[in-house]
Amino acid sequence: MYDFLIIVNDQNGTKLEEKHDITILAPENLPVDLRFDFGIDVVDAKFKPIKTLYSLQAIFDTQLYKSEEAIKEKEFLAPIVSLAGTKGDGKMLLFNH
């Protein structure tokens, strides 16, 4: 458990301080069994998928697909994420490792 203190000083000399409690958990102590799918599709102007550029499916069986095609100029890209395995109140926890 840590105290997170944010201090902002503006150009006029006004100071704003906010204190928040944060808890940092090690990945092995996270209260979730998080699994996710992630992908990037090329879509048309109505967001209808045209082709998949990248897909990592890890919710049920881990499968990876990566297109050999380069991204073309002016293509619309849409990231797609699905989460599973949240527990408790379903809060999403993010961490970087």
pLDDT over 50 at 97, yes or no: no
Q: Contact 65/52 with Cβ under 8 angstroms?
A: yes
From the list 5, 41, 43, the residue with the least C-alpha distance to 22 is 5
24-77 pLDDT, tens digit each = 877 677 666 777 889 999 999 898 999 999 999 888 888 899 999 888 998 999
CA distance 31 to 92: 10
Please state whether the predicted TM-score (pTM) of the whole model is above 0.75: no
CA distance 33 to 83: 10
Query: How do the domains of the chain map onto residue ranges?
Result: 2-84
